[in-house]
């Protein structure tokens, strides 16, 4: 019997550095699902050096890329640099975004690859004219196919199903979730994240667990609540005549924040007419262009013959009082999106006749920063909102803006995404509830990344006067409930089924994997389903995909390995504290 096997190289017990290796030695199949960088992990330096790859890049036939975030695609140029000559399969939106991010990364002094390595990538979006149809079979070798399904995580993001063998009842498959987005078809959370699709049932499934232990409350999934928080910050800077600085990731986060800013202002334009809105982020501006074009894409639903947007969420229509099935209303929604991203020649002169009052009062707000030094010096000259590059606040435009904005208590710095404790954003969030008079007792300083030909920016923690806030509700990651909804489907309204009865959990800290694994087993029992949950620990272990069950027969050994790993980590922490 031909042997298909899979090896989970990463991330195991971590959240970045996605890479799974599949092969069939007899058939000459050897390929990867994703090949990403580690970011913020203690093993990042070793992993990103690519010295310990268990495969030879030149032996790989192709790569399937689920989405464009660097922790999934960041090492692909290094593969080409080291001899890989194959194809990268993904949606064209993923291709465009990944190319943007990889080119940016190639310009950093600590990046091993160069732009020529990015240009060497052989992208291929399966489907007619590069328009990948979700659910279609795409052959990548003899009796080897892939299917894409929208994952709802970022623009272009997909879950991927790999199928082998002739089509029919004997065909086997494994479904990779990629990173799954929040919400569902009936409850979309973010304006430009259309709901995650349910892939068709497979033999096995591989599920991410980034937030596998988190169950968000309803407020964190409610667009109205999210915008109320943003509105409150706008009201504060109106009163203080200050600056609201919003560091935001270029991909997804900036576009969602821009939409919400426009929405709040369009709901009460007279109140906010004195605020100047600025965008300072070269990558974000390019991402706005990619997003505006992608939102125009539609798909034909083969079962019904209906034509629906491919990426544009239904939430945009409901927010603006538009009918999603009305062609003129679709064009109205697209015009509003173009206006939001600054894609129209005269976005401030936009005239909308359909929809609710918010839609009809929508106007383009954003001015692109052309001279950062001049604009930063204008801080304090009137109410400003600045959406800036670097979601963690460490580099990019934020490294110029924040040292100035943080000095005045008239100003607010609102972090819009996750920031680890070692980042500027993480350190600022630790001060969120520290009273102004108590900051005088603080020690330490913030140090930004040094820019070429410029002195390194530094700021004593005791000198931070600005209010620090967290803009929650913008996460593009599924929580535990969303992950369960991805895995379990109420099939045809009356029976429950799982995408894959054997579930491999990766892409999450061990506590998150454990929590999600328990929740999967509990839900399976509740619906009289049999589920086998595997949490791979050893990146050198192969799993035989011709087996139907019994992967977890060495659970005792796995438990011993878990305990030994915990002991090792505790000892490292003890040694660190002693030193």
- What's 502's domain CATH number? 3.60.15.10
How do beta strands 172-176 and 204-208 pair?
parallel
In the chain, which stretches have pLDDT less than 50? 1, 553-556
SS3 464: coil
At 228 the pLDDT is: 97
Q: Is residue 579 part of a domain?
A: no
SS3 295: coil
Element spanning 29, H or E = strand 29-33
Distance of CA 506 to the CA centre of its chain: 16
- Please state, in angstroms and rounded to a whole number, the distance separating the CA atoms of residues 94 and 68: 5
Are 493 and 269 in contact by the 8 Å Cβ rule? The answer is no
The residues, any chain, with a CB within 8 Å of residue 150's CB and separated by 6 or more, are: 134, 157, 158, 159, 194, 195, 196, 197, 310, 311
One domain, residues 354 and 273: yes
One domain, residues 242 and 175: no
Which residues sit opposite 148 in a β-bridge?
Answer: 160
One domain, residues 195 and 322: no
- Please state, in angstroms and rounded to a whole number, the distance separating the CA atoms of residues 17 and 49: 12
One domain, residues 341 and 226: yes
Q: Is residue 451 part of a domain?
A: no
DSSP-assigned letter for residue 57: G
One domain, residues 277 and 399: yes
Are 330 and 204 in contact by the 8 Å Cβ rule? The answer is no
One domain, residues 133 and 238: no
One domain, residues 389 and 428: yes
Q: What is the 3-state secondary structure (H, E, C) of 146-166?
A: EEEEECCCCCCCEEEEEEECC
At 316 the pLDDT is: 94
At 306 the pLDDT is: 81
At 494 the pLDDT is: 67
Query: What CATH number did the domain enclosing 222 receive?
Result: 3.40.50.10890
One domain, residues 143 and 261: no
At 560 the pLDDT is: 60
- Please state, in angstroms and rounded to a whole number, the distance separating the CA atoms of residues 324 and 332: 10
Q: Is residue 164 part of a domain?
A: yes
One domain, residues 117 and 256: no
- Please state, in angstroms and rounded to a whole number, the distance separating the CA atoms of residues 506 and 497: 21
Q: Which domain holds residue 206?
A: 5-215+479-548
One domain, residues 336 and 483: no
At 335 the pLDDT is: 94
One domain, residues 283 and 402: yes
Task: Count structural domains, the chain.
Answer: 2
Helix, strand, coil tally for the chain in percent (to 5): 35, 20, 45
One domain, residues 299 and 326: yes
Both tokens of 204, joined, read 């096995």
């Amino acid at each position: 019997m031909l042997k298909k096997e899979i090896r989970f190289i990463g991330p195991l017990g971590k959240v970045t550095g996605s890479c799974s290796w599949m092969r069939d030695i007899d058939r000459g199949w050897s390929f990867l699902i994703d090949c990403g960088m580690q970011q913020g992990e203690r093993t990042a330096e070793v992993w990103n050096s690519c010295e310990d790859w268990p495969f030879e890049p030149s032996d790989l036939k192709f790569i399937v890329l689920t989405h464009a975030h660097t922790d999934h695609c960041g090492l692909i140029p290094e593969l080409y640099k080291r001899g890989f000559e194959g194809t990268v399969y993904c949606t064209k939106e993923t291709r465009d975004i990944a190319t943007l991010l990889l080119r940016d990364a190639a310009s950093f002094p600590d990046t091993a690859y160069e732009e020529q390595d990015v240009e060497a990538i052989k992208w291929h979006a399966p489907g007619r004219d590069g328009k990948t149809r979700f659910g279609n079979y795409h052959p990548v070798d003899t009796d080897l196919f892939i299917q894409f399904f929208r994952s709802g995580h970022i623009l272009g993001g997909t879950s991927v199903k790999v199928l082998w063998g002739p089509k029919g009842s004997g065909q086997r498959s494994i479904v990779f979730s990629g990173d799954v987005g929040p919400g569902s078809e009936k409850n979309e959370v973010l304006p430009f994240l259309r709901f995650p699709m349910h892939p068709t049932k497979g033999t096995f499934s591989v599920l991410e667990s980034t937030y596998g232990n988190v169950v968000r409350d309803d407020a964190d999934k409610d667009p109205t609540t999210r915008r109320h928080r943003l509105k409150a910050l706008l009201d504060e800077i109106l009163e203080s005549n200050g600056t609201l600085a919003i560091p935001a990731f270029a991909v997804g986060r900036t576009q969602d924040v821009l939409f919400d800013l426009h929405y709040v202002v369009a709901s009460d334009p007279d109140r906010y007419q004195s605020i100047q809105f600025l965008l300072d982020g070269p990558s974000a501006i390019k991402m706005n262009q990619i997003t505006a074009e992608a939102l125009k894409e539609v798909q034909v639903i083969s079962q019904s013959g209906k034509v629906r947007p491919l990426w544009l969420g239904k939430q945009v229509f409901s927010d603006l009082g538009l009918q999603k099935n009305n062609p003129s209303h679709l064009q109205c929604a697209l015009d509003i999106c173009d206006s939001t991203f600054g894609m129209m020649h005269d976005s401030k002169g936009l005239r909308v006749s359909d929809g609710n009052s918010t839609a009809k009062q929508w106007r383009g707000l954003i001015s692109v920063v052309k001279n950062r030094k001049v604009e930063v010096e204008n801080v304090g000259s009137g109410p400003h909102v600045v959406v800036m590059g670097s979601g963690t606040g460490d580099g990019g435009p934020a490294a110029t803006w924040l040292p100035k904005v943080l000095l005045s208590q008239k100003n607010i710095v609102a972090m819009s995404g996750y920031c680890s404790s070692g980042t500027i954003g993480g350190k600022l969030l630790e001060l969120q509830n520290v009273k102004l008079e108590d900051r005088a007792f603080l020690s330490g300083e913030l140090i930004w990344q040094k820019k070429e030909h410029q002195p390194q920016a530094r700021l004593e923690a005791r000198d931070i006067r600005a209010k620090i806030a967290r803009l929650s509700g913008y996460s593009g990651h599924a929580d535990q409930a969303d992950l369960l909804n991805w895995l379990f489907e109420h099939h045809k309204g009356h029976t429950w089924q799982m995408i894959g009865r054997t579930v491999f959990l990766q892409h999450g800290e061990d506590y998150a994997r454990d929590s999600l694994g328990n929740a999967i087993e509990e839900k399976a029992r509740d619906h009289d389903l049999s589920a086998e949950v595997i949490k791979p620990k050893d990146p050198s272990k192969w799993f035989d995909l011709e087996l139907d069950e019994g992967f977890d027969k060495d659970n005792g050994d796995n438990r011993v390995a878990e305990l030994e790993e915990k002991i090792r980590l505790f000892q490292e922490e003890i040694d660190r504290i002693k030193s």
